[in-house]
Amino acid sequence: MRFHLPCIPSATNRDLADQMHDIVKHFKHEKESEAHQIYRQQAGHTAKGTLPDTINPDEETVPGIEHPGSTGVIYCSDRAMANGFSYHNAKEWANLGQGAPEVGPIPDAPPRMETIPVPVDSLEYAPTTGVKALREAVANLYNNMYRQGKASQYTYENVCIVPGGRSGLSRVAAVIGDVYCSYQIPDYTAYSQVLSAFKRLVPVPTAYISRVEFIQFSDLLATQNKYRLDIEQTKRDIRTQGLAVIIASNPRNPTGQMIAGKELKELVCLSREGTTLILDEFYSWYIYHDHEKDFGKSVSSAEYIEDVNNDSVIIIDGLTKNWRLPGWRVCWVIGPKNLITALSQSGSFLDGGANHPLQLAAIPLLDPARVAVEKLALQRHFKAKRDHVLKRLRELHLDVDIPPQATFYIWLNLEKLPPPLNNGLTFFEELLKEKTIVIPGIFFDINPAHRRNLFCSPCHHFVRLSFGPPLEELDRGLDAIEGVLKSARKEGTKKFGHDYRKSMDSGTGVQI
């Protein structure tokens, strides 16, 4: 048996019995952990595909209905509410779990839009593909940023406006046939639900290497590949497994890494060899350059597409992250014309289309000159926040194996902390007691059937911290983390790993 030393100094006044108590509490299976039992008891999170029962009779009481499981942010929000969080007292909490950037004014950025016109015509339904003028604005922006001098240019026929990124993913998934679809671990939590709900997509985890145990593979990802897509391995998987679709976020949620330059060009080339690429590019502006001359540059596969109607590359993006307008729910899917007509059809029964007045209001926000100012301000502001959070984490002796070069997330390794704080779910539950929210790493282990023992996940020892919120909120959350670590150093870990509230109406947690 192997134990990890804590990264915080040992207390001088702790006796040997206390230290042995901590070692004994180094749980090895999810059944031994209260935090993990609470997770499994949430509807849709029960392990599936196991014998003899494949459906949990306690949660599936309505004939024909099966819970799909919630995404990480939703689960964590529900758990926070069980611990007293509400949107009325949100300012008392530090939400380092949110998947959204701060929405208020930031230095040197264009002013925030506080009112929008609502012409009478906009009270009608918008087309399921979106308002034509907005589709034209999206096409023009991408041509301006990524396709200058190229013969093949995007037009409005290459753009579909959708009510949010998840809606875009769902529309695309609904029109894909029976195919093998590959993904990496870790990646965006919603992919797991999409792969579960749309049964014609057969999930193939390209991150798994059979000759390496998952715990070892976690280290392999971090130290060798830096969480980037291995192009050569992907090519082999296409040949040997018949992959027809690859889905990935770029820049990468949650690790903050990205594929750019030659690597991205090689990835796009795969689309000309019978494989469709679905690239979630919502963080394309959140790039943290080392040199002043590079500030304002962003990344997109659109730069390397040869023919916009023949290269099978699907780009999903929108106002949510880059424009810092998550509440607008105005996003887009860009791809070949034939794809857009299919998305119009799937949108007609999935979501009915995006908000009409907000689509009209979005058009001036896509002016290339305005976008250039937005990007520059955003990169400077969020780089400063990233550097501040990394500095404080270093002072706490917390590991960030690969610092983020993009997004507004930090993939934080807890493995060297004393048990049981060294796993993401328990760390998350302990921080809820301090009015702080993070996202446990297991939500980024794309595992549609929820089969694995959670302790065997390569993401088990991680949490995702967001530096999307304003600086003062970030510091409140970091202060809470510091407080938990100080308590562990001074008092040991006896008080951790138990006594969790299951709901606002209940007492403390389950018996184990």
85-98: average pLDDT: 91
Helix axes 165-174, 190-197, angle to 10 degrees: 30
Contacts of 404 (CB under 8 A, 6+ apart): 255, 256, 257, 288, 386, 410, 411
Q: Is the dihedral of CA 6, 10, 16, 17 positive or negative?
A: negative
Does the pLDDT value for residue 60 go beyond 70?
Answer: no
DSSP string, 251-287: SPTTT-----HHHHHHHHHGGGTT-EEEEE-TTTT-B
pLDDT digits (tens, 9 = 90+) for 266-313: 999 999 988 999 999 999 999 999 999 999 999 999 999 999 999 999
357 within 8 A of 113, measured Cβ to Cβ: no
330 within 8 A of 354, measured Cβ to Cβ: yes
Name the DSSP letter for residue 413: E
Does the pLDDT value for residue 509 go beyond 60?
Answer: no
Cα separation, 160 vs 157, whole angstroms:
8
> Domains of the chain, with CATH numbers?
27-101+408-491 (3.90.1150), 120-372 (3.40.640.10)
Contacts of 280 (CB under 8 A, 6+ apart): 165, 169, 188, 247, 248, 249, 250, 253, 316, 317
83 within 8 A of 433, measured Cβ to Cβ: yes
C-alpha pair distances (Å), 19 with each of 14, 333, 496: 7, 54, 14
160 within 8 A of 337, measured Cβ to Cβ: no
Does the pLDDT value for residue 215 go beyond 60?
Answer: no
Cα separation, 208 vs 212, whole angstroms:
8
Within 10 Å of residue 291's Cβ, how many Cβ atoms?
A: 6
C-alpha pair distances (Å), 116 with each of 101, 360, 417: 21, 9, 49
Chain Cα centroid distance, residue 32: 28
Considering only CA atoms, give the Rg of the chain.
23
Q: Is the dihedral of CA 113, 116, 122, 125 positive or negative?
A: positive
Q: How confident is the model at residue 28 (pLDDT cuts 50, 70, 90)?
A: low
CA atoms within 13 A on the CB side of 468: 28
Q: What is the pLDDT of residue 56?
A: 58
DSSP string, 463-506: EEEE--S-HHHHHHHHHHHHHHHHHHHHH-STTSS----SSTTS
Q: How confident is the model at residue 204 (pLDDT cuts 50, 70, 90)?
A: confident
Within 10 Å of residue 87's Cβ, how many Cβ atoms?
A: 8
Q: What is the pLDDT of residue 391?
A: 97
161 within 8 A of 352, measured Cβ to Cβ: no
Name the DSSP letter for residue 225: I
Cα separation, 419 vs 5, whole angstroms:
9
497-508: average pLDDT: 74
Cα separation, 264 vs 406, whole angstroms:
15
pLDDT digits (tens, 9 = 90+) for 415-451: 999 999 999 999 999 999 999 999 999 999 887 766 6
Which amino acid belongs to residue 383?
K
Place of tokens 């597409």: 305
Does the pLDDT value for residue 512 go beyond 70?
Answer: no
